[in-house]
Structure formats: structure tokens, C-alpha cells
């Protein structure tokens, strides 16, 4: 439908270098679109991001219990934040879906607070000041694939509880209710899923 | 990873997912600033969240959704500015520097408390607690969960020692009376949930603290 935006960015240089483990071109598409918004306030790129992510954000909020109207407002607001914060996006640190998930996650945390004082909510900073090591670019590009493979190797019921844990405000009891399972079963299923994920995803260099 | 002096996997997952209450999230954020390995793990969990978002079957938007979004960005004047570091304690980990702090209050011999003006959640709020060497905190139990992260110094309970970066979760069953075992005062950030019941004579002195 639209011409692929092709900002000549350092991201392209990076993507050439990481070819052995490069994710599919499609996985990088959304990273490029966010960079186009950051570099040129590219409205076309934003429209494409919106069309891909807004319906997913809406679905996420509906599953967490929001009404369709509230879920759509949430998606609108989260995407406006994507527009505003695009310059903080760093493809070396997070893929587009992770970055947008984080923006949405911070917005939800903001909504959860019960008082109205205008205070900053703790955010997970994906755009900090850290010094990157040369191999970080490669390890970041492998990340999406690693995560995808790890999820594929979990049992379906483990992926299901994990998905619900990310969706629901009060994971354990709500998951138990929605799956009609005892609370203990849900807890042990989440714990087992986390143990498997750690075994598959934790890098040895990150061990404490 | 020592499970006892770190947040539970469930709590890290809830933090990564954005469903932890804001006061608790503040204490977890402070801990992550002091424990890079756990911070890296939370980031990885966020990548899992991103992947799950990516795999979510989309929910159709209303017909004018894109037009509304495009209209909003045209008129948007919102700018993202770096948050100024607000408070007077540069020794705090970065996530805690964004919050204004109340005055130090003396709440007992060798014990001072100041509020962290982070978002509250019902009865749950965040405080900094500074306790002199050798002192014990007032003996107390709580209605809900109490999360603590050591920022400097060290304290010990009957069974365990907590050093800088260590994280403790104490629930309603725990009768809690940590004692400072470092040579310097011990500074902690804590999210207190529910009503705190103080035992003993210190309870009266601790009224402002208890009634926060």
C-alpha cells in the first residue's frame, strides 16, 4: 500500500553487520518505521505503525478486562506516546514490539495508581545512558528470535498463563478464575514457565 | 540467584508486565538499579511481553480510529522532556531521584523516616528509613506486604542478613524487627501496605509513621 520508508540511518548500517542472525526483514520493518517518525516526523510511517499496533493494544486491554471503548482510547493514547517518544527509541536496545509494549506497560501502571497527583510513575528505561559493548547489537538482534523460540518451546498451557499474566491486573486470582483452575495450579504453572524461560533466555554473562 | 534476597519471579513478572502497584514498583525499580542481572532479566521479560503483544490477534478499531490518531498528532504539542532530578539525595539510585521527598522525621531513637512522594495505591505508600548502627526498627506486624530494598548499610533479621541492593518481602505473618548491623546507618526504601501494628512503647512515638 505505501512505499517502504527508507531513512538512511545508522540502523541500516547496523542491520548489514548483523546479517548472520538477522531477524526476518519484516521484524525490522517496524523498527525502521519508528526511526522514520523520530528522524522526519514521518506521518506515513506513523500511520503504518498505528494500523499494526493499535488493534493489538486494543485486544490486549480488552483481554485485561477493559471495555472496547476504553481499550481503544488506551490504544490511541499509547500510540500518541509512540509519536512523542519516537526519538527515544533505540533499536539496539529493544525491538519495536518490545518498545511499544513497554510504553503501553508504563501507561497501564500510570492508570493503576489511584490518586490523581501528577507524579512520575516508575518506568522501565529502555533509553538510558549505558555504554554498549560492541556485541550488544548482535545480541539484541538475536533477542527476538531467542524469545520467539523460547515461547515456542513452552507447553501451550504455560504460554497461556504467561500471556494472561501479562494481560491481567491481578494475575493469579484472575487467571485462576478465567481458566477455572485452582489458584495453586496457576501459581505453579507460572513458576514452571518462568523457570523454563530463565533456563532458555538468561545469558551466562548476566548471572549475578 | 538467591531467591530470598531478591524479588520473587512472580513480582518481577508483574513489574515487567506493568501490573505491580506503583509504590511496590518504586521499590522494585530501586532494587533493579542496584542489581543489573535482575534488570537484564526484566528487560528480557519485556521482550517476552513484546512478543506476546506481537502475536495477539488484533481487535478491529472503530472506522475513524486512524483519522482520529492522525488528527491528534497534527495538533499535538506534547513534548517529552527529560525528567529533572527532583530531590536532595544524590546518593539515591536514579529511579528514586525523580520523586520529591518529605522532611526527615524523628520517629524513635536512631530512627528517621521521610516520605517519598511517589504515587500511592490505597493504603500503600513509599518511605525512606534511616536507622543508626545497632538500632532495631520498632517491632511491628503488617496487614499487607512490606517490600524493602537496602540502599546503604546492612540489616539483619533473626535468620538473614540484608546488604546493599538486597530485597525483602515480608507478609502479614512475619513479626518484623530488623537490626542494623553495618558500621554506618542503614538506609532503606520501603513500600508499606496495609495497617502497621506497632508493639511496645515505641508505638506511641511511631504514631505519625503509623498513621501516614
Cα–Cα distance, A105 to A110 (Å, whole number): 9
The confidence score (pLDDT) of residue B205 equals 52
Residues of A in contact with B1 (CB under 8 A): 207-208
Residue, of B76 and B152, whose pLDDT is higher? B152
pLDDT in tens, A28-50: 899 999 999 999 999 999 999 99
Instruction: Please determine, for residue B79, whether its predicted confidence score (pLDDT) is greater than 50.
Output: yes
Please tell me the CATH code under which domain A24-114 is placed: 1.10.1740.10
pLDDT band at A66 (very low <50, low <70, confident <90, very high): confident
| Region of A105 on the Ramachandran plot (φ > 0 left; ψ -120 to 50 alpha; else beta) | alpha
Q: For chain B, what are the domain ranges? A: 1-56+91-212
Closest CB from B22, B42, B69 relative to A109: B22
Q: What is the DSSP letter of A154?
A: S
The confidence score (pLDDT) of residue B193 equals 73
CB atoms A126 and B43 under 8 Å: yes
Question: Phi and psi (nearest 5°) for A20?
Answer: -55, -35
Q: For chain A, what are the domain ranges? A: 24-114, 133-203
In angstroms, the separation between the Cα of residue A8 and the nearest Cα of chain B is 24
Instruction: Please determine, for residue B191, whether its predicted confidence score (pLDDT) is greater than 80.
Output: yes
- Beta carbons within 8 Å of A84's beta carbon, 6+ residues apart: B76, B78, B79, B80
**Hey, which CATH number is domain A133-203, 3.40.50.10470, 1.10.40.50, 3.40.50.300, 1.10.10.10?**
1.10.10.10
Instruction: Choose among B19, B26, B197: nearest CA to B125.
Output: B26
Residue, of A113 and A165, whose pLDDT is higher? A165
pLDDT band at B104 (very low <50, low <70, confident <90, very high): very high
- Beta carbons within 8 Å of B7's beta carbon, 6+ residues apart: B15, B28, B31, B38, B147, B167, B169
| DSSP H helices in B92-162 | 94-97
The confidence score (pLDDT) of residue B83 equals 62
Q: Are strands B140-142 and B161-162 parallel, antiparallel or unpaired?
A: unpaired
CB atoms A71 and B56 under 8 Å: no
In angstroms, the separation between the Cα of residue A9 and the nearest Cα of chain B is 22
B3 touches chain A (CB under 8 A): no
Residues of A in contact with B95 (CB under 8 A): 122
pLDDT band at A129 (very low <50, low <70, confident <90, very high): very low
The confidence score (pLDDT) of residue A25 equals 56
3-state helix, strand, coil in chain A (%, to 5): 70, 0, 30
Instruction: Please determine, for residue A117, whether its predicted confidence score (pLDDT) is greater than 60.
Output: no
Cα–Cα distance, A20 to A30 (Å, whole number): 20
Mean pLDDT score across all residues of chain A: 75
Cα–Cα distance, A34 to A93 (Å, whole number): 13
Nearest CA in chain A to B118: A119
A162-166: Cβ within 8 A, 24+ apart = A162/A190, A162/A193, A162/A197, A162/B48, A162/B52, A163/B52, A164/A63, A165/A190, A165/B13, A165/B14, A165/B17, A166/B13, A166/B16, A166/B17, A166/B48, A166/B49, A166/B52
The confidence score (pLDDT) of residue A5 equals 46
CB atoms B14 and A171 under 8 Å: yes
Secondary-structure class of domain B1-56+91-212 per CATH? mainly beta
Residues of A in contact with B51 (CB under 8 A): 97-98, 144, 147-148, 151
Residue, of B3 and B62, whose pLDDT is higher? B62
Residues of B in contact with A206 (CB under 8 A): 36-37, 40-41
The confidence score (pLDDT) of residue B151 equals 98
pLDDT band at A77 (very low <50, low <70, confident <90, very high): very high
Question: Which segments of A80-207 are extended strands (E)?
Answer: none
The confidence score (pLDDT) of residue B33 equals 95
pLDDT in tens, A133-152: 444 444 555 577 888 889 99
Amino acid at each position: 500500500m505505501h512505499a517502504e520508508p527508507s531513512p538512511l540511518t545508522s540502523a541500516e548500517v547496523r542491520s548489514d553487520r548483523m546479517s548472520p542472525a538477522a531477524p526476518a526483514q519484516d521484524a525490522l520493518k517496524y523498527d525502521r518505521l519508528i526511526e522514520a517518525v523520530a528522524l522526519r516526523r514521518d506521518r506515513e510511517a506513523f500511520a503504518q505503525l498505528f494500523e499494526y499496533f493499535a488493534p493489538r493494544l486494543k485486544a490486549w486491554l480488552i483481554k485485561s478486562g477493559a471495555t472496547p471503548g476504553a481499550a481503544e482510547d488506551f490504544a490511541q493514547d499509547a500510540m500518541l506516546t509512540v509519536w512523542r517518544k519516537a526519538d527515544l527509541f533505540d533499536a539496539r536496545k529493544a525491538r519495536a514490539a518490545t518498545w511499544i509494549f513497554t510504553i503501553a506497560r508504563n501507561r497501564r501502571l500510570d492508570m493503576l495508581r489511584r490518586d490523581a497527583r501528577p507524579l512520575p510513575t516508575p518506568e522501565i528505561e529502555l533509553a538510558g545512558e549505558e555504554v554498549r559493548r560492541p556485541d550488544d547489537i548482535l545480541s539484541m538482534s538475536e533477542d527476538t528470535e531467542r524469545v520467539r523460540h523460547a515461547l515456542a518451546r513452552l507447553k501451550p498451557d504455560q504460554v497461556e498463563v504467561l500471556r494472561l499474566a501479562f494481560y491481567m491486573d491481578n494475575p493469579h486470582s484472575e487467571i485462576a478464575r478465567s481458566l477455572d483452575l485452582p489458584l495453586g495450579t496457576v501459581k505453579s504453572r507460572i513458576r514452571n514457565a518462568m523457570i523454563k524461560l530463565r533456563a532458555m533466555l538468561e545469558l551466562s554473562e548476566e548471572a549475578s | 540467584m538467591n531467591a530470598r534476597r531478591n524479588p520473587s519471579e512472580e513480582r518481577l513478572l508483574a513489574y515487567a508486565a506493568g501490573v505491580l502497584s506503583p509504590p511496590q514498583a518504586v521499590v522494585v525499580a530501586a532494587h533493579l538499579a542496584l542489581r543489573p542481572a535482575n534488570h537484564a532479566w526484566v528487560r528480557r521479560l519485556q521482550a517476552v511481553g513484546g512478543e506476546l503483544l506481537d502475536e495477539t490477534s488484533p481487535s478491529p478499531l472503530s472506522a475513524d480510529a486512524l483519522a482520529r490518531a492522525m488528527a491528534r498528532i497534527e495538533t499535538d504539542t506534547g513534548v517529552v522532556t527529560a525528567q529533572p532530578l527532583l530531590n536532595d539525595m544524590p546518593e539515591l539510585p536514579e529511579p528514586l531521584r525523580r520523586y520529591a521527598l518529605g522532611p526527615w522525621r524523628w520517629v524513635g531513637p536512631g530512627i528517621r523516616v521521610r516520605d517519598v512522594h511517589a504515587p500511592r495505591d490505597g493504603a500503600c505508600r513509599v518511605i525512606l528509613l534511616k536507622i543508626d548502627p545497632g538500632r532495631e526498627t520498632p517491632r511491628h506486624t503488617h496487614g499487607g506486604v512490606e517490600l524493602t530494598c537496602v540502599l546503604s548499610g546492612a540489616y539483619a533479621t533473626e535468620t538473614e542478613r540484608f546488604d546493599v541492593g538486597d530485597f525483602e518481602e515480608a507478609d502479614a505473618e512475619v513479626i518484623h524487627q530488623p537490626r542494623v548491623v553495618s558500621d554506618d546507618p542503614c538506609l532503606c526504601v520501603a513500600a508499606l501496605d496495609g495497617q502497621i501494628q506497632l508493639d511496645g512503647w515505641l508505638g506511641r512515638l511511631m504514631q505519625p509513621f503509623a498513621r501516614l
